[in-house]
Amino acid sequence: MQEKIASPKRTMEIINKYNFVIQKRFGQNFLIDLNILEKIVQGAELTEDDVVIEIGPGIGSLTQVLAENAKKVIAIEIDKKLIPILEETLIGYDNITIINEDILKVDLHKLIAQHNEGNKVKVIANLPYYITTPIIMGLFENNIPVDIITVMVQKEVADRMQAKPGKKDYGALSLAVQYYSKPKIVTQVGPNCFIPAPKVGSSVISLKRFDEQAFDVTDPKFLFRLIKAAFSQRRKTLVNSVSNHENLEVSKEQLLQALHEMGLDPRVRGEALTLEQFIELTNCIIN
């Protein structure tokens, strides 16, 4: 068992040895709390049979712990300056593959076929705010064979992912995530758990993907356009928000008729509808 990377002392030794300059554009904040790393492993329900794709390994703090708990770890790092650091810090582990790529440009189907014969993997990541939604939705929408996605994100983003109707955090992201998975907050993470310390709090959230599509919707693409339109003007009624939206050709009459069939108030706002109601509304409009 090697010395753990995730400590203030070891992290600073690595940074100083390589004269590494932290890149804000890549959202680089290195974890220095082993307790948080263990909670990530638990949240991902890792076993020794799992193949893990880690997005943004940094200097290898989490990668090291994943390698000690999983069958194989594929670490995808966009910053080429971190590759020689990772190759040194993780030198004792023969179950880690390091790839210098942008996760949004990687052919994950091909990668998973090569490393896990196309079987389901688990995705674990410490994601910067600006790229959180594109990565998570890309995994879902492109039908990547994923069992659980466990990510550290800005606290407010995690809150939005698991929000329920009527809450201020509830919106299009909540509905999109909950359409594909069951979200669960694993733990809260304070700024002092990182070097450098970020200005905001973080949360670890696990997204357990549904085995099969859990909802019967006539047109999923229309559903998500409808949801986006419904939240485009939160203070307006759903009817006004949707009928005025440029990406949907739905009249007020159609919407009012569908809401009537569903037994809903014509003045209802989008933020009051559950995912199931948005799906029923979609099916009413299309059918």
Residue ranges in 44-117 assigned as alpha helix (H):
61-67, 83-89, 108-116
Residue among 194, 2, 195 nearest 90 (CA): 2
pLDDT by residue, tens only, the chain of 287 residues: 678 999 999 999 998 998 887 777 666 788 999 999 999 999 999 999 999 999 999 999 999 999 999 999 999 999 999 999 999 999 999 999 999 999 999 999 999 999 999 999 999 998 877 788 899 999 999 999 999 999 999 999 999 999 999 899 999 999 999 999 999 999 999 999 998 888 889 999 999 999 877 788 989 999 999 999 999 888 889 999 998 788 788 889 999 999 999 999 999 999 999 999 999 999 999 87
Say if residue 278 is exposed, middle or buried (CB neighbours under 10 Å; 0-12, 13-18, 19+): buried
Helix 172-180 vs helix 220-230: angle between axes, to the nearest 10 degrees?
150
The domain ranges of the chain are 8-209, 220-286
16 CB contacts (<8 Å, ≥6 apart)? none
- Nearest-5° Cα angle at 186, 86 to 152: 40
CATH number given to 8-209: 3.40.50.150
Helix 129-141 vs helix 172-180: angle between axes, to the nearest 10 degrees?
40
Q: Do domains 8-209 and 220-286 have the same CATH topology?
A: no
Provide the whole-model pTM.
0.92
**Level-2 CATH architecture, domain 220-286:** Orthogonal Bundle (1.10)
